[in-house]
Chain A
Amino acid sequence: MLWRDEIFETNRMIEQNKLDVRTITMGISLRDCVDPDLKAFCQKIYDKITRCAKDLVAVGVAIETEYGVPVINKRVSVTPIALVAEGCKTDTLVPVAETMDRAARDLGINFIGGFSALVDKGETRGDTRLIASIPEALARTESVCASVNVGTTKSGLNMDAIRQMGETIKRTAALTADRGAIGCAKLVVFTNAVQDNPFMAGAFHGVGEGECVVNVGVSGPGVVKRALESVQGAPFDTVAETIKRTAFKVTRVGQLVAQEASKRLGVSMGIVDLSLAPTSAIGDSVAHILEEMGLERCGAPGTTAALALLNDAVKKGGLMAAQHVGGLSGAFIPVSEDAGMIDAVACGCLSLEKLEAMTCVCSVGLDMIAVPGTTSAATLSAILADEAAIGMINNKTTAVRLIPVPGKKVGDDVEFGGLLGHCPVMAVNTFGAEAFVARGGRIPAPVRSLTN
């Protein structure tokens, strides 16, 4: 029989510490939708997405009601469009994005991911066409998310694609300038992209995946912070142990929800993503966990070590709690979506360079960072290359979401709305990298031994 304290503990996590299921994401294969006629292709993908996910929102709501745990987002990811639209006779893939957007709207979901290309080694004509379509696609849709994988540890970095992506980010910002360059908040540049990520904007349904799966992302930075409040001043052994125990409990909820959702939707259960995903709400911040460990502000010396401990302990705690673990599984550090990060930037404690260092030890990378609108495409590409190199060498996923906001300068605040939050524009090193980025070609795959 359950103990009363256990019941109150669970409900306190949900009600006071913002434990929630961040997303139930249905991954849908579009490989059977291939058609040379663009109109027919769009009709097929609309039909398939809306057929597979027709009950997704209702099931999410039912699970939330039954278990009393909020299921914040219901989303869909699809096979990278560059692959399935390769044979379409068309100059632009914008109509495909518009079709995805319409499907998302009709389903009542807030994001659909997979307007994506995997170009870590080279580009086909279909990849080039997709990348060229991204700015307009993101400007003309609400819920479509795009991503491009520009490198892997096994293949090295595609510097031509990285150059293109700097330019694509700039064009996307220009086309959505009237909305704080929000298009860039839905565009991720990956290295070592994963196939089963449930989190947006980088979710797509990988080519190694089955017909249809359910992946779940659970989150609870507030729960971890609350747990650490009870071990103030204790040595790091205790800190790590406390985080592990908390992550285990949080992940068990994710496992339960993933199991139930897959059963009710009649599709296989994919993975539980162990990420700690913050929101800009008070009490839901990864930065505040780091500060709870004894840092005056996130970004102070010690931040990278604190984050390394947090990221590792979350994984260790979560691994045993879930049947299959996957996705990104680590702490996210998106600036605009984390109240503590926003404050740390605003007070001058957290710089782009410190964030880059932090990405060496945690999930993902330079995420949701607003930079001055004057930042050049070459500088953006060079930042992408730096982050991609971290991913490539460390055999980890890195993702970059940079938002060069037209007309904004360092210190200005940009509001993205909803889950995407707001943030102060961060300073970027203004020394140039034009000649570096102009070289193009590929940075070779790294040696995997002699790893000092």
Chain B
Amino acid sequence: MKIVVTIIGQDRIGIVAKISTALAEAEVNIMDINQNIMNGFFNMVMIADMQRATLPLDALQKKLADVGRALGVDVKIQHEDIFNAMHRI
């Protein structure tokens, strides 16, 4: 299963590092990263593979939400299929 991780919030040092570390700890493999800063706001989208993940999706959502809270950013994890359904025929 592939997931889409979106992170939005005030920019600061270490967001990518901490989020990536949390994913690595859960054996989630990052396949694609797209990130930029707009007007001081941090925007990032990751596509990751959960094939070898050691946590179920809801537990991963909670883990990443906790990491995001500590960084002051919103972290959202969704099954990739909702985006494929909406944007791909």
- How far, in Å, is B5 (CB) from chain A's closest CB? 10
Residue of A nearest to B4 (CB): A7
Given contacts A11-B6, A67-B78, contact A6 B85 (CB under 8 A): no
Chain A to chain B contacts (Cβ below 8 Å), 28 pairs: A1-B32, A2-B4, A2-B47, A2-B80, A2-B84, A4-B34, A4-B43, A4-B45, A6-B83, A6-B86, A6-B87, A8-B43, A9-B87, A10-B82, A10-B86, A10-B87, A65-B57, A66-B57, A66-B78, A66-B79, A68-B76, A68-B79, A69-B82, A252-B85, A252-B86, A253-B82, A253-B85, A256-B85
Once bound together, how far apart are the Cα atoms of A3 and B6, in whole Å? 12
Known contacts A7-B6, A11-B6, A68-B79, then 5 further A-B pairs from the complex at CB < 8 Å, ordered by chain A residue:
A4-B43, A6-B83, A9-B87, A10-B83, A67-B78
- How far, in Å, is B4 (CB) from chain A's closest CB? 6
Contact status B57-A2, CB under 8 Å: no
Contact status B58-A65, CB under 8 Å: yes
Using a Cβ–Cβ cut-off of 8 Å, how many residues does chain B contribute to the interface with A? 22
6 tightest A-B CB contacts, nearest first: A68-B78, A256-B85, A67-B82, A6-B87, A252-B85, A4-B34
Residue of B nearest to A6 (CB): B87
Contact status A249-B86, CB under 8 Å: yes
Contact status A256-B82, CB under 8 Å: yes
Once bound together, how far apart are the Cα atoms of A174 and B85, in whole Å? 48
- Give A contacts to B, CB under 8 Å: 1-4, 6-11, 65-69, 249, 252-253, 255-256
Decide if B20 is an interface residue (CB 8 Å cutoff).
Answer: no
Residue of A nearest to B61 (CB): A65
User: What residues of A have a CB within 8 angstroms of the CB of B76 in the complex?
Assistant: 11, 68
Interface of A is mostly: helix
- How far, in Å, is B46 (CB) from chain A's closest CB? 10
Which of B61, B79, B87 contacts A2 (CB under 8 A)?
Answer: B87
Decide if B66 is an interface residue (CB 8 Å cutoff).
Answer: no
Decide if B81 is an interface residue (CB 8 Å cutoff).
Answer: yes
User: What residues of A have a CB within 8 angstroms of the CB of B34 in the complex?
Assistant: 4
Contact status B84-A67, CB under 8 Å: no
User: What residues of A have a CB within 8 angstroms of the CB of B4 in the complex?
Assistant: 2, 7
Residue of A nearest to B79 (CB): A66
Which of A3, A9, A65, A256 contacts B81 (CB under 8 A)?
Answer: A256
User: What residues of B have a CB within 8 angstroms of the CB of A2 in the complex?
Assistant: 4, 47, 80, 83-84, 87
User: What residues of A have a CB within 8 angstroms of the CB of B81 in the complex?
Assistant: 67, 256
- How far, in Å, is A317 (CB) from chain B's closest CB? 12
- How far, in Å, is A397 (CB) from chain B's closest CB? 28
User: What residues of A have a CB within 8 angstroms of the CB of B6 in the complex?
Assistant: 7-8, 11
User: What residues of A have a CB within 8 angstroms of the CB of B86 in the complex?
Assistant: 6, 10, 249, 252-253
Those of B1-56 within 8 Å (CB) of chain A:
4, 6, 32, 34, 43, 45, 47
User: What residues of A have a CB within 8 angstroms of the CB of B84 in the complex?
Assistant: 2
Once bound together, how far apart are the Cα atoms of A1 and B83, in whole Å? 10
Residue of B nearest to A13 (CB): B86
User: What residues of B have a CB within 8 angstroms of the CB of A67 in the complex?
Assistant: 78-79, 81-82
User: What residues of B have a CB within 8 angstroms of the CB of A1 in the complex?
Assistant: 32, 47
User: What residues of A have a CB within 8 angstroms of the CB of B85 in the complex?
Assistant: 252-253, 255-256
Once bound together, how far apart are the Cα atoms of A314 and B27, in whole Å? 43
Once bound together, how far apart are the Cα atoms of A1 and B49, in whole Å? 13
Contact status B83-A7, CB under 8 Å: yes
User: What residues of B have a CB within 8 angstroms of the CB of A255 in the complex?
Assistant: 85
- How far, in Å, is A413 (CB) from chain B's closest CB? 37
Once bound together, how far apart are the Cα atoms of A3 and B47, in whole Å? 10
User: What residues of B have a CB within 8 angstroms of the CB of A65 in the complex?
Assistant: 57-58, 61
Taking each of A3, A6, A66, which has the highest tally of chain B beta carbons within 10 Å of its own beta carbon? A66
User: What residues of A have a CB within 8 angstroms of the CB of B80 in the complex?
Assistant: 2
- How far, in Å, is B49 (CB) from chain A's closest CB? 13
- How far, in Å, is A65 (CB) from chain B's closest CB? 6
- How far, in Å, is A59 (CB) from chain B's closest CB? 14
- How far, in Å, is B37 (CB) from chain A's closest CB? 14
- How far, in Å, is B47 (CB) from chain A's closest CB? 7
Contact status B58-A7, CB under 8 Å: no
User: What residues of A have a CB within 8 angstroms of the CB of B43 in the complex?
Assistant: 4, 8
Contact status B57-A7, CB under 8 Å: no
User: What residues of A have a CB within 8 angstroms of the CB of B57 in the complex?
Assistant: 65-66
- How far, in Å, is A307 (CB) from chain B's closest CB? 26
Taking each of A3, A7, A65, which has the highest tally of chain B beta carbons within 10 Å of its own beta carbon? A7
Once bound together, how far apart are the Cα atoms of A9 and B58, in whole Å? 23
- How far, in Å, is A250 (CB) from chain B's closest CB? 8
Which of A7, A68, A256 contacts B45 (CB under 8 A)?
Answer: A7
Once bound together, how far apart are the Cα atoms of A210 and B4, in whole Å? 37
- How far, in Å, is A330 (CB) from chain B's closest CB? 21
Once bound together, how far apart are the Cα atoms of A6 and B34, in whole Å? 12
Once bound together, how far apart are the Cα atoms of A256 and B84, in whole Å? 10
Taking each of A2, A11, A69, which has the highest tally of chain B beta carbons within 10 Å of its own beta carbon? A2
